[in-house]
Amino acid sequence: MSETTTGTVRRGPVDLPPPFGDNNIEREPLWYEYGAGCDEPPVPPWTWVAEPPMTSHVAPPPPACVRGGRRTELPRGTAELLGTLPFPHGRAAPSDPDEALARALVAAFGVQWSDPENVYNPHRGYASPRCLYPVQVFVDDGERWHLLEPERHALTALTSGRHRGRHRRIALTGRYTRIPRGYKWFRGSLVNLELGITLRSLALALELFGLSGRLVLPHEGSAGLLDELGLTPSWEWSLPLVIELGPDGVARSAAEPEPSAVPEERPEGAALRDLVRVNRAQAFTDPAAPVTPAVPAHLPSTRGASGDWAELMWQRNSGRMPRGLLGMSGRRTRMPAGSVRDAIRWLGVPPPGPTLRAVSELVTVTAVVQDVEGHEDGIHRVRDSEAVLLSADRTAAARLEAEYGYGLSTDAGCDIRNAAAIWFLSVKPRELFARFGPGGWSAAQYYCGWALHGLCLSATAHGMFARPVRAFNEIPTQRILGLEPDEMVALAAVAGTPRHATHELLDIRI
């Protein structure tokens, strides 16, 4: 944000955060306070605190709770097995549930490829900001917890914590310090969005290998699970999403561990303290809910993918650039009508549980479409599973590129103007808080991540890239898309035909 930037606060029935910074990342903490009822939220004082450059970031070491832990290699050949499963309806039928779970973990979170010309490596089967993968996966075999280490292709037993489980579980929790400090408060949103992405990736893998589970959202006892895992300091970590494996799961009970009474140091910096406060405000009361299928029903086969699940996961990318350049680059290509129709099908797959499903009904989907058969170029709104034309604006994509924070430069590509579809997921923060309290903020981000991963897979099936983005200038983007002034863009994705898709990738699947 710029300290000298000013703006006008709207008056009337809806008062909005003042545009001290027009980028939606900068405005996000203001949107949170606005949703909570503050008509004129002040700019947080940590906004002006200087942070080290993003490029100076060094990821923290593995958590101390795995030091000295026994490492167990995961089974090999999962990619080959996935290669025998036709997309989209092929499913595996392993007879051993332990092997099925191990292969599901590899399918959901395993490394896929390394790009010699990319500055960020390696890549997995789902999108993560700068390949940082802040969401960590912990697996309980009923006797002890393990950390999934995808790049080691192994599970490592925890050597600290207080295991209290008697059933198999998977915990997804984000480590804020894996994201550069310069992201400040937005580290919390990046973690929440990736939690939704990884939840969809895991749900897909469980579906492919015939496993079932039940989702438990963060609740009043969730901080105790961080203590059970031995994750210290706990402020580095988000409250976990837990998947209880098996058809019935295990209901929450008073036997869950309480957080340790040992006082902790305060988080490093005011922005992190504030985002942890927001994260800990979650207290969902949903019972454990069956993990729903991640793949749309009656999805037709597509020509863009090679025909199997392994190839789909291998081909997924966020828009490759050559020679170590940043950003994304695409070329204008006529796309079939199914590229939009199938994307809407993937977006429409409901997430698990009543709260996430109810939150999804408050998310508006808008798409800027061009060069797609059966769709007029312009701005469309998704209504009743159809893309309805709002405005035949052929300039919308080019105007959005002009409002993107990482434009074309000597070291970065940016071909938003050539995208076949630019998808926007937007919410009204006050509606979220009115319906779900402060937890609605996180729930909306979980859902948007869930939806985004489906969109990425749909794009891949049609030979397209899909790049998640959050760097549009918000107020001009609202006006271009015809959004309401009290509507916040929660997540967006640029989908198009890759311009640089032929250079060699290193296959690092095991």
CB-based burial label for 410 (10 Å; 0-12, 13-18, 19+): exposed
Give the C-alpha separation, 309 to 315, whole Å.
Answer: 10
Residue 260 CB: number of other CB atoms within 10 A?
Answer: 16
Both structure tokens of 225: 């699970």
Report pLDDT for 27.
87
Q: Please give the average per-residue pLDDT across 455-464, as a whole number.
A: 96
Among 30-39, 44-53, 273-282, 394-403, which is the least confidently predicted range? 44-53
Report pLDDT for 305.
55
On the question of pLDDT at 9 being above 50, the answer is no
Report pLDDT for 6.
31
59-290 and 319-507 have identical folds: yes
pLDDT digit string, tens, across residues 263-276: 566 777 899 999 99
Report pLDDT for 269.
86
**Second-level CATH architecture of 319-507:** 3-Layer(aba) Sandwich (3.40)
Confidence class for position 12, pLDDT limits 50, 70, 90: very low
Entry pTM: 0.94
Confidence class for position 394, pLDDT limits 50, 70, 90: very high
Contacts 24+ apart (CB under 8 A), 379-382: 379/480, 379/481, 379/482, 382/344, 382/347
Confidence class for position 25, pLDDT limits 50, 70, 90: confident
Give me the sign of the Cα torsion angle 402, 450, 147, 253.
positive
On the question of pLDDT at 302 being above 70, the answer is no
Dihedral pair phi/psi, residue 70, rounded to 5°: -70, 135
Cα–Cα distances in angstroms (integers) from residue 370 to residues 286, 329, 332, 403, in the given order: 41, 16, 9, 18
Report pLDDT for 262.
46
Give the C-alpha separation, 11 to 39, whole Å.
Answer: 9
CA-based Rg of the chain, rounded to a whole angstrom?
22
Residue 222 CB: number of other CB atoms within 10 A?
Answer: 25
Give the C-alpha separation, 478 to 474, whole Å.
Answer: 6
Which residues, in sequence order, are CB contacts of 104 under 8 Å at separation 6+? Answer: 202, 205, 206, 208, 209, 211
pLDDT digit string, tens, across residues 182-202: 999 999 999 999 999 999 999
Q: Which CATH fold topology does 59-290 show?
A: NADH Oxidase (3.40.109)
Give the C-alpha separation, 502 to 114, whole Å.
Answer: 14
pLDDT digit string, tens, across residues 320-371: 898 889 999 999 999 999 999 999 999 999 999 999 999 999 999 999 999 9
Give me the sign of the Cα torsion angle 500, 501, 502, 507.
positive
Spatial CA neighbour of 199 closest among 20, 448, 23: 448
Q: Please give the average per-residue pLDDT across 103-111, as a whole number.
A: 98
On the question of pLDDT at 235 being above 70, the answer is yes
Give the C-alpha separation, 429 to 474, whole Å.
Answer: 15
Q: What percent of the chain has pLDDT over 70?
A: 90
Identity at 158, one-letter amino acid code: L
Q: Please give the average per-residue pLDDT across 55-64, as a whole number.
A: 90
Report pLDDT for 248.
60
Q: Please give the average per-residue pLDDT across 454-483, as a whole number.
A: 95
On the question of pLDDT at 56 being above 90, the answer is no
Confidence class for position 111, pLDDT limits 50, 70, 90: very high
Cα–Cα distances in angstroms (integers) from residue 371 to residues 44, 346, 347, 368, 377, in the given order: 43, 21, 21, 11, 7
Give me the sign of the Cα torsion angle 122, 124, 130, 132.
negative
Task: End-to-end CA distance of the chain: give it in Å, rounded.
Answer: 44
Averaged pLDDT score across all residues of the chain: 90
The domain limits of the chain are 59-290, 319-507
Report pLDDT for 166.
78
- DSSP-based three-state secondary structure for 383: strand
pLDDT digit string, tens, across residues 133-151: 999 999 999 999 999 999 9
